[in-house]
Each structure stands twice: as structure tokens, then as C-alpha cells.
Chain A
Amino acid sequence: MIERHHASAAAVCAVALAAAAVAAASFSAHRAPDVLVPGAGVTEVRMLSDWFPGLDGTPGDTEVYVLRGAEPGGSMLVLGGTHPNEPAGYVAAALLVEDARVARGALYVVPRANASGFTHNDPQEGAPTGFSFPLPDGSTRTFTYGSRATNPVHQWPDPEVYIHASSGQSLSGNETRNLNRAYPGREDGTLTERVAYGITRLIVGEGIDVTVDLHEASPEYPVVDAMVAHERAMPLASNTVLGLELQGIGMSLEPSPKNLRGLSHRELGDATDTLAVLFESCNPSQGRLRGRTDEALVVEGKDPYYLRAAALGRLYVPFDEGGVPLAERVGRHLASIAELAFSMGMESEDEGLELSGVPGYDEISELGVGAFLSPAPEAGS
């Protein structure tokens, strides 16, 4: 006859297996990539592994959307999703893929720069797995809310200390999975370093003139609503910030620190000829002072604790009852990209990039992101 404690052990095991199965289904569902709908401006869809075959078949390989104009001109690379818990950069890149047109020059867009980071989210953050936008036709489009870092299932274990390969800089061990600490990358490095290397190869291979890395920061972080520029990109970035000010969009301009290594604006500017800049918008859903972290916070950007922090003068951005909606943050990124493209033409006529179809700051703030997204294709079509 079976002993009593074995019977209870079997029952507990069964419950544990059921819990593991439910969790496994949820985690596995997070790995399905979002559907993006390339617009008429997209002339080619390639993979990052086209420039660095070492990424082929890995979770780090990702789509590169090319929008090439009829006339030659300058080239710009836009990186969204370097940190998949900073949704404005990802959504702004997706809108470029779906809406932008290029008359002159070439625009390269990587909406999910760290594709692995989209396959999970951070433990103990209570973040949602995704967020949705209603479209005018009544349908919805859902986007993944991921993690700041590469999935540990794809790159494990983390070292105690992360040493940036080309500089020897030491950082906390989990930064080994942070794409924006891995540039210029290594051909035979970790998955994250190989993704960074692939992006560097793309820039060198295509002779990219300007590289923009789209990010978000918490409202209590000093570098927010800001543009960080490599010293060679400073004249271009200055013109862009002035142009944005004339539109009523306040952006501060920060020089790329020379002793903070591995970041796109530092390493891509040093290792290649590209003019490297990084944009930061304000994301209340990633800050330490936030309250309940749900889809509403991600999309609407309203939080009572940030409201209180603003009243105490603890934030670096204005924050009122209206919050900082995702639509406003996406509009800020898109307006900055459009102004940067305009400024490229001011710097040199040969390097002009003529963009159209990019939703404006005011219209996207008023109409919302969904108004500029295409309906997802029916399954199987």
C-alpha cells in the first residue's frame, strides 16, 4: 500500500507540473514575433544576418527594412527596440516601416534591434507582456513589451562582472545582455555582442551616414527628452534640436561621454564613419517611482506616484494629470527623425534624405498611434 506522504508528494508534483505547464505556455506565447505591415515605402526586407552571417538562425537575427528613394542621397539607420521595455522607440520604428516614404536617399529601419529581448520580460517588474492600439476600422494591433536585455535562455550564464571587450570597462554582470553596452560588438562574442557586431557591419557595409538609436528613460533620470550625440554628430544634432525647438518640442542636447563605453552613440561613432545619435523620451512605465505597472500605464503614461514626485520637484520632465502618453513619446521620436533628416540636407546637399508620410508630432498626439497603423493581415493571408 502506498505510504501517505508519497500520496501527498504525488499530488503536490501534479499541481507543480500543472503550474509549470501554464507558465510554459505563457512564456512560449511571448516568443511569437509581432506582425508588422510594411508600407509602400519599403523596397526591401532583409535580415541582419545578411551583413553578419554569424547571426543566421539565432534568436538575435532580426528584420532590416530598407526604404530606398528613387534619387541617391544620404542614408540613415534607425534602431528601435534596443531595449524592448522602452516601447516608444519600437513603435516609432514600426510606424516608419508602415508609413514612411523616401524620395531621396535611403532609410534603414531595425524595429527590433534586440530581437531576443522581445521574447521575455523582466522578473519582479510586474510589467505587462504587451499593449494594444485601437485602429479606425475597429480592429486592434498588439505590440510586445519586452525586457531591457537579451533573454537569458538565449545567453546564459551571466558573469559576475561584465567586461566590455574593446575598452576593458567593468560593469555589473547582467549588463552582458544589454545591447547598448555591447557596441561595437564581437564576431565571436556572446549573442548580444554578435548582434552589436551585425549592426556595426550593416553600418560599414552600407556606408550609413547617420545612425539613430531610439530609447526611453524614467522621468526621474536626468537624461530624458534628450538627444545624446557623438562629438562628430554634434553640429547635425544641434541643428536638429533647434529645429525641434522651433516646432515647440523641447529636447536637450547631451554630448556622448567619452568614458562610458559600449553605447551606440560612443562606439558606433568611434568605430565607423557614421554620425551616431541617441534619443530618449520619457517612459513612466520603467521608472523606479511608478505604481501599478499595466498596459494602461504603458499606453497612457499616467501615474499618481509620478504626479506626487513632480509636485515635490523630483522629476526632470513636466508631469501632470495627463501623464506622458505613448502617442506623445512616439510623436517626439518621429519628429526628431524627420528633423534630423531635414538637417542632413542642410549639412550637405549630397547627403540629403527626403522623407514623407511620417506622422507629425501634433497629429499623432491628437489622433493616437492606432490612426497611423495598418490593419494586421488576416491569419493565413
Chain B
Amino acid sequence: MTVVYIAIAAALLALTVWNLWTERDWRKQCTAAMVAVPLLLRVLMIK
């Protein structure tokens, strides 16, 4: 079950980074970055 949840978090992280990269408004890019940080820490199983 843990592996499935890590895979979901990784997919969400990838979509968030894709959204950050294609977004034209820098404020929304910042919002995406703030979402990506905890996702990255969870995918790496740090927090």
C-alpha cells in the first residue's frame, strides 16, 4: 500500500512541476512550487 501511495505522490509531483513549467503567471508558478516542496519530501520519504 505504501508503494501505491508513493506512486500517487510522484505522479502528483510530476503534474505539479509540469504545471509550474507551462504556467505563464509567475504568481501561480510560485503557488505550484509551494505545493511541490512537501510532495518532493514525501516522495523521497524524508517527511
Contact = CB atoms under 8 A, between A and B. Distances in A.
A167 interface: no
A156 B21 contact: no
Interface string A1-16: 0000110110011011
B12 interface: no
A157 B1 contact: yes
Given A12-B30, A23-B47, A24-B44, A5 B37 contact: no
B37 A20 contact: yes
B30 A20 contact: no
Contact of B20 (A13, A20, A23, A120): A13
Instruction: Identify the interface centre among B20, B26, B33, B40: most chain A CB within 10 Å of its CB.
Output: B33
Contacts, number: 53
B26 to A, nearest CB: 5
A153 interface: yes
A156 B46 contact: no
B33 A15 contact: yes
Nearest to B40: A20
Nearest to B24: A5
Contacts of B47: 23-24, 27, 120, 153
For the complex, would chain B's binding face be called helix, strand, loop or mixed by DSSP majority? helix
Given A16-B36, A19-B37, A9 B44 contact: no
A27 B46 contact: yes
A156 B36 CA distance: 19
Instruction: Identify the interface centre among A8, A16, A153: most chain B CB within 10 Å of its CB.
Output: A16
Interface string B21-47: 101101001101110110011101111
Given A6-B21, A13-B33, A157-B1, A24 B26 contact: no
A28 B41 CA distance: 11
A12 B33 contact: yes
A24 B46 CA distance: 6
B41 A23 contact: yes
A157 B41 contact: no
A58 to B, nearest CB: 13
Instruction: Identify the interface centre among B1, B32, B37, B45: most chain A CB within 10 Å of its CB.
Output: B37
Given A120-B47, A157-B5, A27 B41 contact: yes
A8 B41 contact: no
Interface string A151-183: 001001100000000000000000000000000
Contact of A5 (B2, B26, B42): B26
A346 to B, nearest CB: 49
A272 B4 CA distance: 37
B5 A156 contact: yes
Contacts of B41: 20, 23-24, 27
Contacts of A153: 42, 45-47
Nearest to A24: B46
Interface string B7-23: 00000000001001101
Given A15-B33, A20-B41, 6 more contacts: A12-B20, A13-B33, A16-B40, A23-B37, A24-B44, A153-B42
Interface of A: 5-6, 8-9, 12-13, 15-16, 19-20, 23-24, 27-28, 120, 153, 156-157
Q: What 4 A-B pairs come out closest when comparing CB atoms?
A: A16-B33, A5-B24, A8-B26, A12-B29
23 contacts: A5-B24, A8-B26, A9-B21, A9-B23, A13-B17, A13-B21, A13-B33, A15-B33, A16-B37, A20-B40, A23-B37, A23-B41, A23-B47, A24-B41, A24-B44, A27-B47, A120-B47, A153-B46, A156-B2, A156-B5, A157-B1, A157-B2, A157-B5
Interface of B: 1-2, 5, 17, 20-21, 23-24, 26, 29-30, 32-34, 36-37, 40-42, 44-47
